[in-house]
Amino acid sequence: MTQDPQWKQRLAPAQYHVTREGGTEPPFSGEHLHNKAAGGYHCICCDSPLFDARHKYDSGSGWPSFWQTIDPAAVTETSDHSHGMQRVEVRCARCDAHLGHLFDDGPPPTGLRYCINSLSLNFHPDPSAGD
C-alpha cells in the first residue's frame, strides 16, 4: 500500500488508516451504510468510480455491500491472509487504496459481496434522480 505524506495531508486520519494502512471501520458505523440514494461511489483518494448505487444491498454485515463493481477493471483483488483468515482484499485499481474485502456469499446474479468501508468511499449523487 502507498503510504505517502501526500495522503496524510489530503485524508482525515481515519480515512488514511483505512485506505493507506489497510484498516477497517467499526461495523455499522459508516456514513454510507444506509444510503439509498441514486448515484455512484468513488474512491475517496483518487475519485475513481468504483460502485453504482443500483448494485448496493443490505448484507447485514455492517458495511456497505455491493454485488458488483461499476467496471471489473476499477478494482484489484489480492489474497489477504491477515487476522488468521483467508480473504480477498479489494483495492482501487488507480491508486491502490484499500477498500475492503470480497466474499462469495452475495445475492444473485453474481453471488458476490464487496464489503466496503464507507471511509474509503465518496458518494456522488445522481442529479437526474431528483429528491
Q: From CA 27, how far away is CA 21, in angstroms rounded?
A: 18
Which pTM was predicted?
0.91
The pLDDT assigned to 131 comes to 55
The pLDDT assigned to 40 comes to 98
Annotation marks residue 115 as catalytic:
yes
Q: What is the pLDDT of residues 2-26, one digit of tens each?
A: 557 889 999 999 999 999 999 999 9
Can you state the percent helix, strand and coil of the chain, rounding each to 5?
25, 30, 45
The pLDDT assigned to 128 comes to 84
CATH homologous superfamily for 40-124? Answer: Peptide methionine sulfoxide reductase. (2.170.150.20)
Do 122 and 43 contact (CB within 8 A), yes or no?
yes
Of 9-13, 32-36, 81-85, 125-129, the one with minimum mean pLDDT is 81-85
Place of cell 458476490: 112
Q: What is the pLDDT of residues 73-119, one digit of tens each?
A: 999 999 877 767 778 999 999 999 999 999 999 999 999 999 999 99
Asked if residue 60 has pLDDT above 60, the reply is yes
Can you list the pairs that 55-61 forms with residues at least 24 positions away whose Cβ atoms lie under 8 Å? 57/106, 57/107, 59/106, 59/113, 59/115, 61/27, 61/113, 61/115
Asked if residue 130 has pLDDT above 80, the reply is no
Domain parsing of the chain, residue ranges: 40-124
